[in-house]
Amino acid sequence: MELVAGPQALRKRRENTWSIGAAFAVMVALLAIAPFAVYPVFLMQALCFALFACAFNLLIGYVGLLSFGHALFFGWASYLSAHVEKIGTLSIPFWFGKVMWIEIFLPPQTPELALCIGTLTAAILGYIAGTLAIRRQGIYFAMITLALAQMMYFFALQGKFTGGEDGIQAVPRGRLFGMFSLANEMTMYVFVLTVVLAGFLFIYRVINSPFGEVLKAIRENEQRAISLGYKTERYKLVAFVLSATLSGLAGSLNALVFQLASLTDVHWTMSGEVVLMTLLGGLGTVFGPVVGAFLIIAMQNYLASFGQWVLVIQGVTFVICVLMFRRGIVGELANVLRVRL
Amino acid sequence: MLALKRSIGVRVVADDEADKDAPSPGSRLRPLVTLSPHAGTGETRALPMIEIFGIPTQALFGQLLLGLINGSFYALLSLGLAIIFGMLDIINFTHGAQYMMGAFTAYLLLQHLGLGYWGALVVAPILVGATGILIERLLLRHLRQLDPLYGLLLTFGLALIIEGVFRNHYGSAGEPYQVPEALQGGRNLGFMFLPNYRAWVIVFSIAVCFTTWFVIERTRLGSYLRAATENPTLVRAFGINVPRMITLTYGFGVGLAALAGVMAAPIYNVSPQMGSDLIIVVFAVVVIGGMGSIMGSIVTGFLLGIVEGLTKVFYPEASDTVIFVIMVIVLLVRPAGLFGRSA
């Protein structure tokens, strides 16, 4: 037991950062040349889901909490940002003998503001859902998050501004900061890439901070973390809100890319997909969720002709991952190369 | 700037839609029960028009009955989940798919072998239970020593596979299934019309739930089961084959789900997605009740079914979400669940 990191541990840590830095450089290089070879909309979709999976991984990989309701944050953030960008008007319900609405007429907003509003919505929803869900542990946590997400799915189905079955369609991409038109695919790609990389680096920073170390301690042994004096509930809640917020950012971006926010984004299958992406790439690895997201999105795009079989293939992937390689692709690779990835 | 100013403004409007749906304020002042013998028309002519809280009893009890039926499915499914959770420590996400398999097995038995409802009621749970035993033997057994979350993920994957395969073969439209001849028709109870089949579903599922409770809480086999839930190693030391007991328990829980599926087949259409929507509600039921007690899951299941039925009468918009809202309230007031031991 070393209380202070000795020279060996320090060298080890330096090696670790080296491998992660190299992998990050490769990833950025690949993403920089990719739009010249691959259809940009596909890349942007995969990038949004990569951020979504990374945000989800923050929770399951580093705190050990399996949320089965992350579609809630992804979907509702995409609704809010699509609404702000397309319509803008704010309706606030209040009770005065009967249900009344204050309608504040605002013009449609710029994309960066829409992103902020969507992300903020996810943060607020994350705070509410997190407060409720961390009251129970383990398997109950998964069931509660799933049930909460299903409840919000029904609200989205019945709500007026969400457009029910149709969703919010034909959302304009607008001009970033009023200057750059995002209708241009390449400009949009650069914008999405920048936001996703920023989110990725933020998550990396969080998991390597003292706060992240406490999260890992909770994952390994919550009772011990409590006995060491950490208020684990509070740490779990902050991690949950962070994860929800970044999922919301991913959802808002996704709505901009497809110019659409629909029920698919809030449905439980979306929550299942993000679990699969993270599991396939590797739970608790830095790059795993990105790899998993690209693989699953590629699978959906290129196997679309198989129709319903996609569901079966996803199920089989789940079963194989759980039974044969629980470390995921990146986890196994890191194990073979003896580095951290 | 001018254009911007013009488009920004504030307005207060009443919610018109809410107005139309909500009963007028005067309705609260009406007598609680009104009897108007002349009002009955059409098919309800045989029944006197009785109103409670301004709602005809016909609608009230009809929804209450549907609620009880939903409640009996919730009870059967959450009972199976609780038994499986007790022995295997996993949440069986495949439960909804296995419920759907029960309904489909009944449908296929009728189509291909001419085996009717009563035969299916016996054969379908056994067949689906057998697939459950296979799943436990081949897959779940390998996850015994791992974090229970892996069991959840594996069964989720299985649910996707099963639902996907059935969708490919039968589409998502759904197939009708006839009510058995002996239970067709219904009877007039004076205040409502009671279809025989629905009465049967409620009575039979209560009987099944009670039998299960009796076997687990009051017999020798049940005491082995409860002991193995508490301390499997010790029970093994007494010479009881715990792994086999785990396998059979899983098979039995799955069989219960399939039984519920067969009973649901004549009421709802037999369709591939009938399970996945239901299972999420059942999860909420399990969170509300807590999985600590068998009786707890049964009572919670029926109660929530009734609450859902009543919501359909008084505030239909909320009927899909009411169980989730109750879950939120229970989590705030009594986080361990109504019948749960504190976690």
Confidence bin at B340 (pLDDT 50/70/90): confident
The answer to whether residues A290 and A185 belong to one domain is: no
**Measuring CA to CA, which residue among A137, A147, A244 is closest to residue B328?**
A147
User: A252 or B61: which carries more pLDDT confidence?
Assistant: A252
Query: CA-CA distance, A107 to B129, in Å (whole number)?
Result: 59
**Measuring CA to CA, which residue among B141, B163, B157 is closest to residue B96?**
B163
Query: CA-CA distance, B158 to B19, in Å (whole number)?
Result: 46
Mutate to test the interface with B, among A267, A322, A323, A325 (most CBs of B within 10 A): A322
pLDDT of residue B175: 85
**Measuring CA to CA, which residue among B268, B248, B245, B266 is closest to residue B256?**
B248
Query: CA-CA distance, A58 to A247, in Å (whole number)?
Result: 11
What is residue B33's three-state secondary structure?
Answer: strand
Mutate to test the interface with A, among B12, B20, B149, B334 (most CBs of A within 10 A): B149
User: A110 or A235: which carries more pLDDT confidence?
Assistant: A235
pLDDT of residue A131: 94
Any chain A CB within 8 A of the CB of B318? no
Any chain B CB within 8 A of the CB of A132? yes
The answer to whether residues A254 and A303 belong to one domain is: no
The answer to whether residues A236 and A280 belong to one domain is: no
Dihedral sign (CA A39, A43, A44, A45)? positive
Confidence bin at A266 (pLDDT 50/70/90): very high
| Chain-chain contact of B327 with A142 (C-beta, under 8 angstroms) | no
Q: What are the pLDDT digits (tens) for B295-328?
A: 888 999 999 999 999 998 888 888 889 999 999 9
pLDDT of residue A51: 97
Segment 42-81 of chain A within 8 Å of chain B by CB: 64, 66
The answer to whether residues A55 and A92 belong to one domain is: yes
- Residues in A closer than 8 angstroms to B14, CB to CB, are 98-101
Query: CA-CA distance, A77 to A245, in Å (whole number)?
Result: 9
The answer to whether residues A58 and A201 belong to one domain is: yes
Confidence bin at B264 (pLDDT 50/70/90): very high
| Chain-chain contact of A98 with B22 (C-beta, under 8 angstroms) | yes
The answer to which of A243-257, B173-187, B293-307 has the lowest mean pLDDT is B173-187
Task: Count other Cβ atoms within 10 Å, centred on residue A266.
Answer: 30
Q: In angstroms, what separates the C-alpha of B241 from chain A's closest C-alpha?
A: 25
The answer to whether residues A188 and A333 belong to one domain is: no
pLDDT of residue A18: 83
- Residues in A closer than 8 angstroms to B317, CB to CB, are 158
The answer to whether residues A244 and A276 belong to one domain is: no
In a domain, A122, yes or no: yes
What is the ipTM, given to two decimal places? 0.88
Alpha helices in B171-219 (DSSP H): 196-218
User: A261 or A182: which carries more pLDDT confidence?
Assistant: A261
Average pLDDT taken over every residue of chain B = 83
- Give yes or no for a contact between B200 and B129, defined as CB atoms under 8 angstroms apart: no
Query: CA-CA distance, B302 to B297, in Å (whole number)?
Result: 9
Phi and psi dihedrals of B228, rounded to 5? -65, -30
Any chain B CB within 8 A of the CB of A312? yes
Q: At what angle are helices A288-302 and A328-337 packed, to 10 degrees?
A: 130
pLDDT of residue B47: 58
| Chain-chain contact of A100 with B11 (C-beta, under 8 angstroms) | no
pLDDT of residue B97: 96
Q: What are the pLDDT digits (tens) for A158-194?
A: 887 888 888 888 888 877 887 787 778 888 999 999 9
Q: What is the mean pLDDT of residues A320-336?
A: 91
Query: CA-CA distance, B247 to B231, in Å (whole number)?
Result: 17
- Residues in B closer than 8 angstroms to A296, CB to CB, are none
Query: CA-CA distance, B162 to B221, in Å (whole number)?
Result: 32
User: B77 or B193: which carries more pLDDT confidence?
Assistant: B77
In a domain, A178, yes or no: yes
pLDDT of residue B176: 87
pLDDT for B268 beyond 70: yes
Confidence bin at B48 (pLDDT 50/70/90): low
The answer to which of A234-248, B6-20, B218-232, B254-268 has the lowest mean pLDDT is B6-20
Query: CA-CA distance, B161 to B94, in Å (whole number)?
Result: 10
Mutate to test the interface with B, among A137, A148, A221, A318 (most CBs of B within 10 A): A318
Q: How far, rounded to the nearest angstrom, does the alpha carbon of residue A181 sit from its chain's CA centroid?
A: 26
Segment 114-143 of chain B within 8 Å of chain A by CB: 139, 142-143
pLDDT of residue B14: 60
User: A90 or A53: which carries more pLDDT confidence?
Assistant: A53
The answer to whether residues A111 and A209 belong to one domain is: yes
**Rg from Cα positions in chain B:** 24
Share of chain B above pLDDT 70, in %: 84
Of the residues A217, A239, A266, the one at which a domain ends: A266
Confidence bin at A7 (pLDDT 50/70/90): low
Give the chain A residue whose CA is nearest to the CA of B148.
A139
Of the residues A266, A296, A327, the one at which a domain ends: A266
Domain enclosing residue A288, as ranges: 268-341
Share of chain B above pLDDT 90, in %: 48
In a domain, A90, yes or no: yes
pLDDT of residue B1: 39
> In terms of C-beta density within 10 A (0-12 exposed, 13-18 middle, 19 or more buried), how is residue A331 classed?
buried
Of the residues A245, A266, A287, the one at which a domain ends: A266
Apex B339 CA angle, B333 and B343, nearest 5: 70
> In terms of C-beta density within 10 A (0-12 exposed, 13-18 middle, 19 or more buried), how is residue B222 classed?
middle
| Chain-chain contact of A138 with B149 (C-beta, under 8 angstroms) | yes
Q: How far, rounded to the nearest angstrom, does the alpha carbon of residue B167 sit from its chain's CA centroid?
A: 21
pLDDT of residue A9: 60
pLDDT of residue B22: 41
Q: Which of A96-110, A253-267, B10-24 has the highest mean pLDDT?
A: A253-267
Share of chain A above pLDDT 70, in %: 95
Q: Which two tokens stand for residue B313?
A: 């009468």
- Residues in B closer than 8 angstroms to A100, CB to CB, are 12-15
What is residue A23's three-state secondary structure?
Answer: helix
Query: CA-CA distance, A73 to B144, in Å (whole number)?
Result: 33
Query: CA-CA distance, A283 to A279, in Å (whole number)?
Result: 5
**In total, how many domains does chain A have?**
2
- Residues in B closer than 8 angstroms to A221, CB to CB, are none
pLDDT of residue B41: 41
Share of chain A above pLDDT 90, in %: 60
pLDDT for A324 beyond 50: yes
| Chain-chain contact of A312 with B161 (C-beta, under 8 angstroms) | yes
Any chain B CB within 8 A of the CB of A187? no
CA neighbours closer than 13 Å in the CB half-sphere of residue A89 = 15
| Chain-chain contact of B12 with A322 (C-beta, under 8 angstroms) | no
In a domain, A241, yes or no: yes
Dihedral sign (CA B72, B77, B80, B86)? negative
User: B60 or B80: which carries more pLDDT confidence?
Assistant: B80
**Measuring CA to CA, which residue among A287, A306, A222 is closest to residue A57?**
A287
In a domain, A11, yes or no: no
CA-based end-to-end distance of chain B: 59
Sketch the domain layout of chain B as residue ranges: 66-275
pLDDT of residue A242: 97
pLDDT of residue B2: 39
pLDDT of residue A237: 96
Confidence bin at A138 (pLDDT 50/70/90): confident
Q: What is the mean pLDDT of residues B69-73?
A: 93
The region that residue B48 occupies, defined by phi over 0 for left and psi between -120 and 50 for alpha, beta otherwise, is: beta
The region that residue B91 occupies, defined by phi over 0 for left and psi between -120 and 50 for alpha, beta otherwise, is: beta
pLDDT of residue B99: 96
Phi and psi dihedrals of A179, rounded to 5? -115, -55
pLDDT for A8 beyond 80: no
B280: nearest CB among A137, A147, A307: A147
Task: Count other Cβ atoms within 10 Å, centred on residue B129.
Answer: 23
Q: In angstroms, what separates the C-alpha of A209 from chain B's closest C-alpha?
A: 26
Any chain B CB within 8 A of the CB of A144? yes
pLDDT of residue B161: 94
Any chain B CB within 8 A of the CB of A338? no
The answer to whether residues A272 and A255 belong to one domain is: no
Task: Count other Cβ atoms within 10 Å, centred on residue B62.
Answer: 19
Query: CA-CA distance, B157 to B153, in Å (whole number)?
Result: 6
Q: What is the mean pLDDT of residues A57-72?
A: 94
